Amino acid sequence: MTGVLEARNGVPELRARVRHRITFVEGRLGSGKSSLLAEMARQAQASGFTVRTAAASAVETDLPFGVVDQLFPGKLDGFDLDGDVHGVLRHATQYLRELAVQHPVFLAVDNVDKADEQSVRWLTFIHHRLADLSLSMVLTSGPVRSGLVNELVGPLERIRLGGLELAGCARMIGQAPEEYVVACRDATGGNPYLLRELLAAQQPKTCAGIEASAGAVAISLIPRLAWCGEDVLAMAKGVALLDQMSIPLASAVAGLGLERGMAAAAKLAELGFVGEEPLAITYPIARKALLHSMTSPERETAHGRAARFLHSRGENAGEHLMASAPLGEDWAIEALRDAARREQSPDRAARYLRRLLREPLQDNGLRAEVVGQLGLLETHLDPDAAFESLTKASEQITDPVVEAKLTLTLAYEIAERQDRGRAVAALDSAATAVTATDPDLSHSLGLTRLD
């Protein structure tokens, strides 16, 4: 019998299924393939089958006949696994035939998409040559497979695993309020692995408890994604941080070239963690876990990369510069100045100027200009903060003329709006600083007492 069976609400009854010659279980990362395979193996053993299992791994992909050696430990000793391929194929097949004569045999291979080429060839070999034997074989795989694996699985009976529905989630969760079950289903997309990790955090069975589980989920998820490659983990973090991105932007944020970024995005799609562009993390709890794992410097670096990429495209980089560490680059300084000029909201304009002052501005005149602009804005928002900005700026500016110009501008604003006494003090301070250098300059700048 061929076809596709959707398995969503837990492990189906499989006693009849192990009688099928070969069954193929496919699903994305954490969909429960390994658990389902283990249950099928358990039922097969209970039904009198000789059970042999193997789990393929990316680490062993280059080891010839690695999966076959797991199925039949020690039976390939003494063979030249690289040179005598045909001899190994025939020997392993003969050994399997001898087993199947005594009892029906159940072969289970997890992650066959990661199996070494020689083992996949042997599985194909026996598939075509042992039709007379009592043999059942179950293979699991992700959705993306090599041509060799596709040839092996062919038009087989398939069990396609998707996310658990509410009933399946409820069975995994146990006794819990209905709204918590719904929230868990929404957070995990019904992914059994993510749901299991969320529950293992042992947080209260509330929506707040789900939020608090992100750190525990990250402990398991981050190494699992890193195992797929550092590029994959970097791309996942970048997408989690910014969300709804194009692949070129996501690649830049992750610090990858476009080619590597496209490969990482494809792998994340294969794992089920992103969909089509614009890229976004599929599972809310996974996004929270990825964000939880990011340090402040990582976030600032990612925002800086996003700003640099957008600026190179002629797009607005202001918001990303606000969240980045100081870059010390001329384009970033100009972008922040431009964003402040364009901003209609005094509060947001002041935020851009404060961020600009974190840049290493070598030009004291520019720094004085920025502080003056910020001070004028702050007189509308908070006169006390404006006066503090002036004081701090004065400490950083070594040119007395520049300091005097800044003080003069802001002092008049303070005098008109809030505090004539502070304005007088500021003007006196400016006059003293300038007169100490050039007594005549104070008159040209108009630094005279207001009282």
- pLDDT, tens only, 19-49: 347 888 888 888 888 888 998 899 989 989 9
Q: What is the mean pLDDT of residues 59-66?
A: 88
Q: Which residues contact 287 (CB under 8 A, 6 or more apart)?
A: 240, 243, 281
| Amino acid 190: pLDDT | 92
Q: What is the mean pLDDT of residues 286-301?
A: 96
C-alpha dihedral sign at 58, 59, 61, 65:
negative
Q: Which residues contact 442 (CB under 8 A, 6 or more apart)?
A: 404, 431, 434, 435, 448
Q: How far apart are CA 238 and CA 408, in angstroms?
A: 46
- Beta-bridged to residue 26, according to DSSP, are 141, 160
Condensed to tens digits (0 to 9), the pLDDT of residues 118-127 reads 998 898 888 7
Q: What is the mean pLDDT of residues 352-372?
A: 81
| Amino acid 2: pLDDT | 34
Evaluate whether 391 touches 397 at the Cβ level (below 8 Å). no
| Amino acid 406: pLDDT | 60
180, pLDDT greater than 70: yes
215, pLDDT greater than 70: yes
Of 41-55, 336-350, 421-435, least confident by mean pLDDT is 421-435
